[in-house]
Chains A and B, each alone.
Chain A
Amino acid sequence: MSQTDKILIKNGRVIDPANNVDEKADVLVAGGRIEQVGSIKEEAGKIIDAAGMLVVPGLIDLHVHFREPGDEEEETIASGSAAAVAGGFTSVVCMPNTDPAIDDQPSVEFVHRMGRQARKTFIYVMGAITKARQGVELAEMGLMARAGAVGFTDDGAGLQDTALMLRALKYASMFDVVIAQHCQDDSFGTAGVMNSGYNCTILGLPGIDPLIEEMMLWRDVQLVKRANVRYHAQHISTAGSVEIIAEAKKKGLPVTCEVTPHHLLLTDDAILDYDTNFKVNPPLRTAKDIEALKQAIKDGLVDALVTDHAPHLQSEKELEFLSAPFGIASLECALSLYVKALIEPGVVDWSGLISLLTCRPAGVIGIDKGTLSEGAQADITIIDPDAEYTIDRETFVSKGRNCPYHGWDVKGRVETTIVGGEIRFSRG
């Protein structure tokens, strides 16, 4: 290994929550791995001056939709990957609700291969729990797990059949994977397009009751008691869900959960103008729910922050609110959104935020990532915490322009993203 292949990141504030590190230090990368963290005198082929910057483990997003295969006009694994590194993410987990669904081994391998070809971020996959996400027959979870799937979910839909869900949990327990759930009980009806409440009443739009999420989450928690497997509640959005999670964790159940930036920043008041960029599932809730989610984060009940990056065509988002698809594209500006939602109001400090974006999500899916331990794979994100800018969706690398934060003034920006020891993104 010659000196010229090495990268030296100097004078940054290194935050590595897994190792309880938050100090000014240099980081030396060699051979795709972290060689040393500390005061480093050694020369390197590439020196990055990170004075005033945060040097943190590469960010991990457990929940993205890259739409490939099937809807490549909305996003591809290549375009999504480029957006990921621009947003500081060195690992992302693709959801299986593509067309066709990622429900067998070749599909998992396909996504991995496209990710390797894109050569931007590490691409992980969650496979579908049931064939074609139909909620009827179990998919070949074992073979998918062997091909590298890190977990299973029918995301985009909840698994309705209680007995089948219990079987899925029990069956999956023989592989070291997590079963994730998009909690949505369809017996309440599936016509809803926004939070059920006063705003849906005055807008004349069908509502999505918080109970729709809470009933399935509660049911799943009861099932987890019977099956010794990790369970992960995806994008929880209500105060009631927080209570259920708290209760489950108190009982010591292997239950984890994730929260999106939009459920921390936006309420259903945003829909008063029928702007479909605010149409998302689970829907934007109320200020009370935001407070409960923030408190949950403060209390350590939340295990991961995820974008649920869901790009859609502009022409689809131009449809009537009733018909437009659900989803928000926010991968590239996610970090700034977390800063606004959590750092600025003092919910967590930087170290707390970074842990929710690195070591803790890594733990949810059981991957050996999210730290700057010496010898670890060199996934590093360099952040300028003071950079102020205005979010401009027209500059996104992602194909998704359905970003409701367009025009927001935010703070905190990713400057450099190093994946496996290679600089894959550098601003400027």
Chain B
Amino acid sequence: MAKNSKLKWNRKHLLGIRDLSAGEIEFILDTAEGFAEISTRSIKKAPPLRGKVVVNMFFEDSTRTRLSFTLAASRLSADIIDFTKKASSVSTGETLIDTARNIEALGIDIVVIRHNAGGAPKLLSRNINACVINAGDGFNEHPTQALLDVYTIRQAKGSLKGLKIGIVGDIAHSRVARSDIWAMTKLGAEVTLIGPPTLMPSCVDRLPVNVCYKLDDVIERLDVINMLRIQFERMGKQQFPSIREYSHFFGLNVERMKRAKGDIIVMHPGPINRGLEIESEVADGKNSVILKQVSNGLAVRMAVLFLVNQAAMREAKSRKK
């Protein structure tokens, strides 16, 4: 339920979590709770985005996030178009802004963008009138993933205040980790990053987190463990000697789980590399909320689509006046 109805959501773009206040994050989560029910109906649809056009601009491969946004937008009765293009790193051909302006000329209302360059959604938001939702940019942010993560944690634990959360894996190249760090710490959790030093970002000591190089040292204390996917495609150079060695030190296996709290929840942004960062038995076990994350993602994305559109409507109205 919306506990703080005085708070206003005035952002027509969702570019990242770093800029949001705890109140804004909670407002999205509260709103998402209101949307969760729609997915339980036999007619899974509500009309608030009727006549609105959402474009999925995906410059990077993604199946799950795109599906989730597509479904979220359809449940709100929007029209959805897909634009998929491999981003080129060279400065030839049509630029992002050109592409966006062309698509905008078709009369779109919301752009959901996934891009390999950090900051691309921000660049877009400065250059078009439509709402922009960041569906993952480089290794900068993936705000809706973080929102669904904290939504799932709140659902399981009631609140994030004082929870000890471990994020394990390639922090340096992970947009999920960055958004999670902001969302979780803003909501009062204590976050520990766990991974080899080669997968930690520079000046990690200045982030509001603890850093630990040994999963075994902290596993017993954690209330929540988020196992990041090892993204071979995002790592420029070899950051650890072998998958075997990585799994040995940082994989979440049955043995390690025995030492964890009985009510620890196990999360993973997907898709899972079974046997690499997480053993199948753990991924499918009783502590796993991995599939809940997926369904919650839908509610969160519906909420975000609804809120940015409402902010845009109010902005347009006040501009008319």
Chain B contacts for A178, CB-based, 8 A: none
The size bracket of the interface on A is 20 to 34
Q: Evaluate contact between B202 and A198: CB separation under 8 angstroms.
A: yes
Chain B contacts for A191, CB-based, 8 A: 236
Tell me, in angstroms, the Cα distance from A201 to B118 when the chains sit together: 11
From B18, B87, B138, A202 is in contact (CB under 8 Å) with B18
Tell me, in angstroms, the Cα distance from A323 to B96 when the chains sit together: 11
A189 beta carbon closer than 8 Å to chain B: yes
Chain A contacts for B102, CB-based, 8 A: none
Q: Evaluate contact between B206 and A189: CB separation under 8 angstroms.
A: no
From A196, A197, A207, A321, B119 is in contact (CB under 8 Å) with A321
Q: Evaluate contact between B236 and A320: CB separation under 8 angstroms.
A: no
Interface residues of B in 106-137 (CB under 8 A from A): 115-120, 122-123, 127, 137
From B89, B117, B207, B237, A201 is in contact (CB under 8 Å) with B207
Determine how close the nearest CB of chain B comes to the CB of A323; give it in whole angstroms. 6
B90 beta carbon closer than 8 Å to chain A: yes
Determine how close the nearest CB of chain B comes to the CB of A316; give it in whole angstroms. 5
B250 beta carbon closer than 8 Å to chain A: no
B203 beta carbon closer than 8 Å to chain A: yes
Q: Which residue of A lies closest to B140 (CB)?
A: A204
Q: Evaluate contact between A201 and B202: CB separation under 8 angstroms.
A: yes
Q: Which residue of A lies closest to B137 (CB)?
A: A204
Q: Evaluate contact between B140 and A315: CB separation under 8 angstroms.
A: no
Tell me, in angstroms, the Cα distance from A242 to B240 when the chains sit together: 33
Tell me, in angstroms, the Cα distance from A191 to B235 when the chains sit together: 11
With A273-B122, A274-B123 known to touch, is A322 a contact of B138 (CB < 8 Å)? yes
Chain B contacts for A324, CB-based, 8 A: 91
Q: Evaluate contact between A322 and B117: CB separation under 8 angstroms.
A: yes
Q: Evaluate contact between A323 and B91: CB separation under 8 angstroms.
A: yes
Determine how close the nearest CB of chain A comes to the CB of B207; give it in whole angstroms. 7
Chain A contacts for B137, CB-based, 8 A: 204
A367 beta carbon closer than 8 Å to chain B: no
Chain B contacts for A319, CB-based, 8 A: 91, 95-96
Chain B contacts for A322, CB-based, 8 A: 89, 116-120, 138
B170 beta carbon closer than 8 Å to chain A: no
B139 beta carbon closer than 8 Å to chain A: yes
Chain A contacts for B95, CB-based, 8 A: 315, 318-319
What are 21 inter-chain pairs, A to B, with CB distance below 8 A?
Answer: A189-B237, A198-B203, A201-B203, A202-B207, A203-B140, A204-B118, A204-B119, A204-B141, A204-B175, A205-B118, A205-B119, A205-B140, A206-B236, A274-B123, A316-B91, A319-B95, A321-B119, A322-B89, A322-B117, A324-B91, A325-B91
